[in-house]
Amino acid sequence: MQKTKSILVVGGYGAVGRYIVQHLHTLLPHSGIIIAGRSRDKAEAAAREFDSRVSAAQVDLTSQDSIATVFPTVSLVILNTEAGSENAARACIDHGISMISVAASVPVMQAIGNLDDMAKAANVALVTEVGLAPGLLNILAREAVTRLPDTRHLDLVVQLGLIGEHGPEAMNWTIARANEVERAVILDPPFPDVGRRVIPVDFVDRDKMRKDLGVETVASFLVILPRWTTTWVQRLAPYLVNRTGLLARLEPGLKALTKLTGMRENEMVLVVRARSGSKRETLRITGENQSRVTGIAAARTAERLMTMPPDSRTGTIGMADIVSLEDIMKDLERIGCSLA
C-alpha cells in the first residue's frame, strides 16, 4: 500500500462512518481521508467538520465508472455499507488496493472470503469481520478459548439498545432479526444479567469460528435493551421492518420510559462464554453507543493495516487477525467501555 495516498471511507457520512473518520483522523495524522457516498452534498458537509486533510467525493458502488474514478487515487478503502460489497472488493483487487469491510451480514463476509486467492495474487488484504459483531465478538471468543484451552462450546450474546444513535442499515437489521419471532428461545443455561429470552442470530460465521478455534459448537444470540422490549419489539417488528422513520417518531417516548426505568440510553453489552463440562470462562464488554464502538474498531483496524509491512498480510483476513484485545480495549476504555 502507498501511504502517501488517502483513505477512502465509503458511507463516511453515516452514523458509523462519522466515527470512523473522526478516529482515523486521530490515529493516522499523516493520512488524507476522503468521505464518500452516493450523495456528494452529504459527503462535503461531513468533510467540512474537519481540517483540510479530509475531503469529499461521490462514489456509487453499482457504477464501474464511478469506482474507476476514485479507487485508483487511494491506498485503502473502508466500506461502511453492505450494498455493493463484493463489487467493491473485486475493484480493489483489480486496482491493487486493500479494503476493510464493516458488513455484519455473514453472506457478504463469505462472498468476500471467496476472493481470497485473487486477493493474495494481487498482494492486497480484504479485511472482514470488523466492528461490534462479529469483530469484537471474535476477539473476545479467541481470548476466552485462550483462557479455557479445552473449550467445547461457545455462547455469544449481543445486547443492543433499541434507542440511540443508530444508522438506518443497523436499525433495519436489528428490527429484521427481532421479526424472527418463531426463532426466539429460552437460553439454557442462562447468562447472569442477560435474561433467558433471546433471539438466535448469525452474528458470526459459526462454521468458520468452529474450525478456527477448534470448538464443537458456536451459538450466537441477540437481546434488545431494555430487556423488556425484546418481546415487545418482536410483536411490532412486522410493522417496523424497513420503517425506521416510524421508530424514530416513537423514540422520544421510548427515551422517557428508559429514564423512568433507570436504563442507560444506547446501552451495549457483548458477552462470550466458553464452556467445557462444568468449567466456564465468561468475558463481557459493556459500554454505550454501538455506532461509535464500531467506528473505533474500524479505525483501529485501518491503523494496524496501514502500519504493517505491505506483504505481511494478504488475502482475506479478519479484524481479530490484526487487532488484539489489549489494543482495542485501550481505545474503548477512553470512551467509558469496560472489560470484565
Q: Distance of alpha carbon 92 from its chain centroid, rounded?
A: 20
Q: Residue 2: what pLDDT? A: 40
**Residues across the chain:** 340
What are the helix (H) ranges across the chain? 17-27, 40-47, 64-70, 85-95, 106-113, 116-121, 137-147, 168-178, 206-213, 229-240, 244-260, 290-307, 319-322, 325-333
* Helix axis angle, 137-147 to 206-213, nearest 10°: 30
Distance between CA 54 and CA 47 in Å, rounded?
A: 6
Q: Residue 52: what pLDDT? A: 92
- Look up residue 166 and give its DSSP letter: -
Burial environment of residue 138 by CB neighbours within 10 A (0 to 12, 13 to 18, 19 or more): buried
Distance between CA 231 and CA 320 in Å, rounded?
A: 33
Distance between CA 171 and CA 40 in Å, rounded?
A: 24
Q: Which residues of the chain have pLDDT under 50?
A: 1-3, 166, 181
CB 166 within 8 A of CB 15: yes
> How does strand 195-200 pair with strand 217-225?
antiparallel
> How does strand 279-288 pair with strand 338-339?
antiparallel
